[in-house]
Amino acid sequence: MPTSVDVPSLPGAATPPGAPPLGSRLWLYTNFDCNLACDYCCSQSSPHAPARRLPAEVARRACEEFAGLGGREILLTGGEPFLAPDLDEIVAAATRWVPVTILTNAMLLGRGSRRRTLEGLDPARVVMQVSLDSGTADLHDRHRGEGSFERARAGIELLRSLGFRVRVAATVDEADASEERSLQVLLDADGIPSEDRLIRRVARTGFADWGVELTLDSLWPEPTLTADGAWWHPVGIADPAMQVASAPLPVVTVIAVIRATLNDPGRDRASALGAFRCT
C-alpha cells in the first residue's frame, strides 16, 4: 500500500483487532433521505431529512483516487441508498475498481426504477447488507416502524433469489440482548451463514441519546465521504467533532488528516482505540 495511506506506527494508533487497516476501505454516503426514521439512526436520516446526495461525478473521482491509493473495498450507505436516483452510476464507478457493499433496509426493491437498478447490478461485485434487528417483528418494528420487519424479510428473499450475497446486520440495545438468540435461530433457518451476520450495539449518536459513546480518542477511523465533507467514521456522521474535512475530495488529503490526528502526541491515548464495525 502506498505510504500516503500507511497505518500509523505509534503504539496508541495501532490497528485494533477486527478493524480494517486505515486506507483499505472507504465509505460513501450516497444520500441522507430515507423511507424510515429509526429511533437510533446514527445519520439522523428520515423521510423528512435533506437528501444531501453525493454527486455521481464526485463519487467517480473518489473511487478512482481511492483505488490508486491501494484501497480494497468501498461501502455505500445512507439514508437509504436506493432512494438515490443515480445509485447505478455510483455503483458502476466503484465496482470498476474494487468490490462494493451496499447497506440497505431492502424495503424498496420490489418494483419500478429501483427494481431495474437492482437487476442492473452485478452480484459478483456487489454484496448487500440488510438491517434486521430481531427474529420477530416486535423489536425490529419498535425501532424502525410497523411492518418494516416483514418487508425487510421479503427484501432479503428477493436479493438472494437474484444471486446476491446478503449479510444481515442487527442493531440491538444492551437491554434487548436476549433477542439475539431468536435472530440467530431465524437466520439459521434461512440459511444465512454465520460469517454473514453482524450484531452490534446502539451508538450514542444521531437520533440515539443512549448506547455506546464513541469519540475520536476511542474509535478507530474508517474514512467516510458525504456531499458536504469527510468524516472520521460512518457512525459519527452527525457529530461535528467527527468531521475531518469540509470537502470530500481529494481522498488523499482526508486520509492524511486522519493519520495526522491518530499520530498527534497531544491527544489522549490513555485507552486503546477500538473498532465499531458497521459491516
Length of the chain measured in residues: 279
What's the pTM value of the predicted model, to 2 decimals? 0.94
- Running DSSP on this structure, what letter comes out for residue 257? H
| Residue range 202-249, pLDDT digits in tens | 999 999 999 999 999 999 999 999 999 999 999 999 999 999 999 999
Are 252 and 199 contacting, i.e. CB atoms less than 8 angstroms apart? no
CB within 8 Å of 205: residues ≥ 6 apart: 42, 211, 214, 235, 236, 238, 239
| Residue range 138-159, pLDDT digits in tens | 999 999 999 999 999 999 999 9
| Residue range 85-136, pLDDT digits in tens | 999 999 999 999 999 999 999 999 999 999 999 999 999 999 999 999 999 9
Are 194 and 185 contacting, i.e. CB atoms less than 8 angstroms apart? no
- What's residue 176's pLDDT? 83
Delineate the domains of the chain, giving CATH numbers in brackets: 23-262 (3.20.20.70)
- What's residue 129's pLDDT? 98
pLDDT mean over 47-55: 98
pLDDT mean over 26-33: 98
CA dist., res. 243 & res. 238, Å (int):
9
Burial 218-234 (b: 16+ CB within 10 A, else e): ebbbbbbbbbebbbbbb
Would you state the cell numbers that stand for residue 261, as one nine-digit string? 490526528
In sequence order, the β-bridge partners of residue 128 are 102, 166
